[in-house]
A and B are shown apart, each in its own frame.
Chain A
Amino acid sequence: MQVNKPENFNENVIKALSQPNLKKVIRRTTDKAESKRAEAVASFPEFEKARLQGQKVKDHTIKHMGHYLAEFEKNAIAQGTIVHWASTAEEASKIVLDICRQHQAKTVTRSKSMLGEEIGLTHAFDNSEIERIETDLAEHIIQLAGDPPSHIVWPAMHRSREDVVKLFREFHKDPTQSEEIVDLVASARRDLRAKFLNSDIGISGSNFLLADSGSSCTVTNEGNAELTITPPKVHIVTAGIEKLVPSMAHAVPLLRLLTRSATGADITQYITFHNGPKRPNDADGPEECHIVLVDNGRTKMLANGMKEMLRCIRCGACMNHCVVYKHIGGHAYGSVYPGPMGSVLTPHLNSLEVANKQTHACTMNGRCEEVCPVNIPLPSLLRSLRAQSWEQKYEPLTNRFFVNVFAQVAKRPRLFQFASACSLIAMKIFSRNGWIRFMPMASGWTRNRDLIAPDTNTFMQQYNAQQKAKKLTTKP
């Protein structure tokens, strides 16, 4: 699959809308996610309290980021973990590859991590001599298909069961002839089991980093993170610095919010806190542990008035509930993170110049903010990125021209009233039976819908005429 670029957003959208089955496969997942989340929230009366608490935990940690990072580093080192710092994506993926090369790794297993995608780890491995094995079922599917992820929780949601059947038959050693989900899962399990056991290095992401213990937490449904981490001799965690929370007690409310907001489940099958390398009496576990703490634009977001975005716990609820995402899917955004949260993140991870169109692909309907488990004001962050983009003059000249003319006219009410009256005259020319099917300058509207054509004067004209008539009749 050809990878979309964020700067080609408009072309990506056209491509997405022309795919006949895309909307159907997206909706199969997002509709279910939406209704399951609604059920989960309805049966969790403390939800509003929990999200306020979650927001406070995140805000507190972000405010004291330096303090908690130092504490985390100290405690992680005390556990025997080697801590690395990376300020950019390139630095982070180089650190990971260097560790793998020092250990002469031939294969690495990886459990799903959006940060890994963000720092370009998948490409870095694919361009190296080291074989990358994705162990999350959905990541396994898109690795076979050669696709980038299209959702942060269900990266293969753009693929149908039929696609999966084809892929498994082509790539699995001992493929199933069945098309039943349970048999397909078994086929993936057979294929992956030996790879888990023979991997040289396991790489995971992290859902939470606990400052007071130096632990990292993974939340999965398949147990693949545990199998990725335990058998190999070396474990590498890659994590964004915003994953930090002060302690396990602080992670728990966020965990409750995360699983309910992501899949509607009260809890996932596996939640594991990883505490450095194997200790003398441990039965198993890695002999060496590394954690790579990644900034990659996060401190820039703090400085850029986007600190609320660092609350994000990557549940995907904003995209599941986004009317735009639901119609165009994740690939159209051309970035690792799609949907509302992606449209705020990408300008910081990449650049606003490249990713400003996404900030406009939003109706400002507020649904994402309504469902966000940590109250991120996504629409107003998007709006503020639009303001920055306006300042930097990234918008197409025609857009700027029309908005400028509009504002210049609208700030002069009498001129605005005159222009409104003129526009009605123009509309009358194109109107048939009270509707306009096509009108130049309004083709953005009339391409897809009719425009109501009033056969009256403006409200102000009528109102003023009425007032005048009243005055005349009341005069003695």
Chain B
Amino acid sequence: MSEANTNAVLSASDVIQCRNISDKKVGLFVTCLVNAMRPSIGFAALNLLEQAGCSVEVPQSQSCCGQPAFNSGDDEGTRQIAYQTIEHFEHFDYLVVPSGSCAAMIKKNFIEVFKEQPHWLARAKHLASITHELLSFLVDVCDFEPAGVKLDGTYTYHDSCSGYRSLGVYEQPRKMLATVEGLTQKPLNGHSECCGFGGTFCVKYSDISNEIVAEKTQNILATDAQYLLGGDMGCLMNMAGKLNREGHSKITALHTAEVLAGMTEELVSVKNAGK
């Protein structure tokens, strides 16, 4: 067997073992919420991945991970969305997503809808094996340590459910945030309790969702932190939207990647200009 062939049969888990390989080919899955609602998270992700030594590509052919269809029970719709995600990302060394719930969707749930299609199931399994949530990827795979990042103030951290429970993201963002000069953490009571977003849940059961997020914002305000950080745009939109509705403008919600990429100054000034 030639050397090239040997490489071809290496499984993705073998690749993950090789921590110091340079030039990791990463496909960035931007996510639909980041794409439309908060492009800066996408640029922060790009910036961090490049700092960590990855060569990053953003495939043009990408849309949504399919959670709205999957969580509504529309398996066929989910498959239709998953086909093109698999096709456009399976050739990368890694698929990286700046969201725990979208990463968990691709990593854990694609295989659920391909149970009766062995060919696609195999491809979905491969994609699952190379898919990572951004913050955990930076720490676990890239051994990345941010350097020279400054932000004066205090932050509290919301652990989004999918990242925390499905993917075990907890230490990684905290570890990186600890390197940020001037930033101190304030523990959040109920840090891993759902914020009430839940994708389509928050519009289907808006009033229940409201009760949940109202409690969340009380806990957030009790920390007296200046920044609310997290790793999922959906949850951040929900909590920030509730805080703004209640008139609390002193706390700013940011994605952890935005902080680590040193993009806070322009973002914070944009937000405060509107007040």
A-to-B contact residues, CB < 8 Å? 13-14, 17, 23, 323-324, 327-328, 360-367, 369-370, 380, 383, 385-391, 395, 399, 403-404, 406-414, 416-417, 420, 423-424, 433-435, 437, 442, 444-445, 447-452, 454-460, 462-464
Separation in Å of the A101 CB from the closest CB of chain B?
A: 45
Out of A360, A364, A369, A413, name the residue touching B60 (CB < 8 Å): A413
B71 at interface, CB cutoff 8 A:
yes
Residue of A nearest to B42 (CB): A459
Structural contact, B194 and A13, CB atoms closer than 8 A: no
Separation in Å of the A409 CB from the closest CB of chain B?
A: 8
Q: A364 with B71: in contact, given A420-B32, A451-B241, A454-B37 (CB under 8 Å)?
A: yes
Residue of A nearest to B211 (CB): A327
A328 to B274, CA, bound (A): 36
6 contacts between A and B (CB under 8 A): A323-B196, A361-B205, A364-B71, A389-B73, A408-B80, A448-B207
A61 to B35, CA, bound (A): 50
A309 to B43, CA, bound (A): 44
B72 at interface, CB cutoff 8 A:
yes
Structural contact, A450 and B42, CB atoms closer than 8 A: no
B270 at interface, CB cutoff 8 A:
yes
Structural contact, A387 and B60, CB atoms closer than 8 A: no
The size of the chain B interface, using a CB distance under 8 A, is 69
Interface segment, one of B2-10, B127-135, B144-152, B158-166? B158-166
List of B residues within 8 angstroms of A399 by Cβ:
72, 204
Structural contact, A17 and B71, CB atoms closer than 8 A: no
Separation in Å of the A226 CB from the closest CB of chain B?
A: 39
Structural contact, B35 and A460, CB atoms closer than 8 A: yes
List of A residues within 8 angstroms of B245 by Cβ:
437, 448-450
Separation in Å of the A14 CB from the closest CB of chain B?
A: 7
Structural contact, B165 and A449, CB atoms closer than 8 A: no
Contact with A along B182-214 (1 / 0, CB 8 A): 000000000001101111111111111111110
Separation in Å of the B35 CB from the closest CB of chain A?
A: 4
Structural contact, A366 and B211, CB atoms closer than 8 A: no
A360 to B73, CA, bound (A): 9
Residue of B72, B206, B237 with highest tally of chain A CB at under 10 A: B72
A202 to B72, CA, bound (A): 46
Q: A449 with B242: in contact, given A360-B205, A410-B66, A434-B270 (CB under 8 Å)?
A: yes
A385 to B78, CA, bound (A): 16
Structural contact, B73 and A387, CB atoms closer than 8 A: yes
Structural contact, A365 and B72, CB atoms closer than 8 A: no
A444 to B84, CA, bound (A): 30
A368 to B38, CA, bound (A): 31
Other than the given A410-B64, A448-B245, A451-B237, 15 more pairs (CB < 8 A) read: A363-B212, A364-B162, A367-B161, A386-B72, A409-B63, A410-B66, A411-B83, A412-B63, A434-B271, A445-B241, A447-B210, A448-B213, A454-B36, A459-B35, A463-B43
Structural contact, B201 and A362, CB atoms closer than 8 A: yes
B153 at interface, CB cutoff 8 A:
no
B34 at interface, CB cutoff 8 A:
yes
Residue of A nearest to B35 (CB): A459
Residue of A nearest to B67 (CB): A364
Residue of A nearest to B68 (CB): A406
List of A residues within 8 angstroms of B237 by Cβ:
451-452
B61 at interface, CB cutoff 8 A:
yes
The 10 closest A-B pairs by CB, nearest first: A363-B198, A444-B203, A407-B77, A386-B73, A390-B73, A449-B241, A448-B210, A365-B194, A416-B63, A365-B161
List of A residues within 8 angstroms of B204 by Cβ:
360, 399, 444
Within B59-109, the residues touching A (CB, 8 Å) are 60-64, 66, 68-78, 80-81, 83-84, 88
Q: A433 with B274: in contact, given A364-B71, A448-B242 (CB under 8 Å)?
A: yes
Residue of A414, A449, A450 with highest tally of chain B CB at under 10 A: A449
Structural contact, A366 and B165, CB atoms closer than 8 A: yes
B244 at interface, CB cutoff 8 A:
yes
List of A residues within 8 angstroms of B62 by Cβ:
413
